[in-house]
Amino acid sequence: MENSKTALLSTNKLLLIAGTGWLFDAMDVGLLSFILAALKQDWGLTPSQLGWIGSVNSIGMAVGAFLFGIYADKKGRKSAFLFTLLMFSIASGLSAFAWGLGSLLILRFFIGMGLGGELPVASTLVSESVEPEVRGRVVVLLESFWAVGWILAALIAYFLIPLPAVGWRGAMILCAIPAFYALYLRFNLPDSHSYQYQDHNAQKEPIIKKLQSLLSSSFRRQTIMLWIVWFCVVFSYYGMFLWLPSVMMHKGFDMVKSFGYIFMMTLAQLPGYFTVAWLIERVGRKWVLMAYLLGTLISAYLFGIADSINQLLICGALLSFFNLGAWGAMYAYTPEQYTTNIRATGAGMAASIGRIGGILGPLMVGFLMANQVSVSMIFGLFSLSILVAILAILFLGKETKQTHLC
């Protein structure tokens, strides 16, 4: 009984520590979507230029997920988590002083590297540190901190960004706070047991051997499935959510009203995560992920054709509910596909492939909007992308509920 209580306290502490870092990540990504709308007015940027800001962020995330996934398998999950948290928070703070598009793009690249590296490493750390019976639920709860970060970003955007004394620059300074949190984590974050007790020869494996293992006969099927799913989900997520405030303004609402409506939609993310956390240990990873992606597909299509504020709010809330719930299931599902020696590399590589989609999504929206393509057509394309992800899971995915990680 005492050991059970100790394990629960340890799990809750790890969830809070890693989740807070996750929260800061989400706050930065969430603020970026609002800052794009503010920069359009402040700097007079075109849709194509705004698309590049979101895409450069994803380029950095692709590089960071790839490099720090490998680093975490060689040097430890804790070290990679701290380094990436520090990188993105310092670059975020510095971006408040960007003097033009070029300087902002450079800083967004380094912010992206930190973000892209931290997310798969954090989910791998938590996945390896809890019991199989609760692993899926805990990883989804870790992902739920993303919704809290987005809610904070929406509050900052609604109350602070419109103030002349604060603006988007003041909002970015707030994103430097995680640098101080990283110093605290240096002394309070344990590394995963799986990593600590694995064969040290596995940590010394050449990088090329780890990468080859991902496409070996043992892991090829799940690797291909993950790459397709991550690409399609990230492509649609960043294409839709980074542009959401701008789309609302495109539909005729002013900046402050658009930010308020997005905040209301964002609140639906939390029940999306919590329902997945409840279902994932009962139904399983594969079918929960497919169900929530199907909900994303339908709500994205309906949001694209919505033409009244009530329709936009309802469909936007459903989109937030299903899409972010699917993210929670995806982060729980991904690390379970691999063994300890290549787990962070595999999760990082899948996330890196996904970030290529994150590069293309915002660029595509900027290009299509600049060419007067309708919002309904754009969101229809994202629905099609989600359909491809569902089919990949259906035909290539296998259930990993409560399996022991080795």
> Angle 375-396/285-305 helices, nearest 10 degrees?
170
What pLDDT is stored for residue 9 in this prediction?
Answer: 47
User: Does residue 392 surpass a pLDDT of 50?
Assistant: yes
What pLDDT is stored for residue 196 in this prediction?
Answer: 65
Residue 390 falls within a domain, yes or no?
yes
How confident is the model over 62-69, as a mean pLDDT?
91
Residue 53 falls within a domain, yes or no?
yes
3-state secondary structure of 85: helix
Residue 201 falls within a domain, yes or no?
no
What pLDDT is stored for residue 7 in this prediction?
Answer: 53
Question: Which of the four pLDDT bands, split at 50, 70 and 90, describes residue 286?
Answer: very high
What pLDDT is stored for residue 187 in this prediction?
Answer: 65
Closest CA to 357 of 196, 185, 213, 237: 237
> Angle 340-370/101-129 helices, nearest 10 degrees?
140
What pLDDT is stored for residue 260 in this prediction?
Answer: 76
Residue 202 falls within a domain, yes or no?
no
Average of per-residue pLDDT values in the chain: 86
What pLDDT is stored for residue 271 in this prediction?
Answer: 94
CA distance 284 to 278: 10
> Among the listed ranges 169-183, 253-267, 372-386, which one has the minimum average pLDDT value?
253-267
Residue 243 falls within a domain, yes or no?
yes
User: Does residue 61 surpass a pLDDT of 60?
Assistant: yes
What are the pLDDT digits (tens) for 331-349? 999 999 999 889 989 999 9
How confident is the model over 303-307, as a mean pLDDT?
88
User: Does residue 202 surpass a pLDDT of 60?
Assistant: no
What pLDDT is stored for residue 200 in this prediction?
Answer: 57
What are the pLDDT digits (tens) for 93-150? 899 899 889 999 999 999 999 988 988 888 888 888 888 888 899 999 998 998 888 8
User: What is the CATH number for 174?
Assistant: 1.20.1250.20
Annotate 386-403 with b (16+ C-beta within 10 A) or e (fewer): beebbebbeebbeebbee
Count of residues making up the chain? 406
What pLDDT is stored for residue 50 in this prediction?
Answer: 83
What pLDDT is stored for residue 203 in this prediction?
Answer: 57
Residue 1 falls within a domain, yes or no?
no
Domain assignment of residue 95, given as a range:
7-184+208-396
Through-space distance between the first and last CA atoms of the chain, rounded to whole angstroms: 26
Structural domain total, the chain: 1
What are the pLDDT digits (tens) for 247-274? 777 777 776 677 777 788 888 989 999 9
What pLDDT is stored for residue 3 in this prediction?
Answer: 52
Residue 203 falls within a domain, yes or no?
no
Residue 100 falls within a domain, yes or no?
yes
Residue 296: enclosing H or E segment and its boundaries? helix 285-305
Residue 97 is given by DSSP the state T
Q: What is the pTM of this model?
A: 0.84
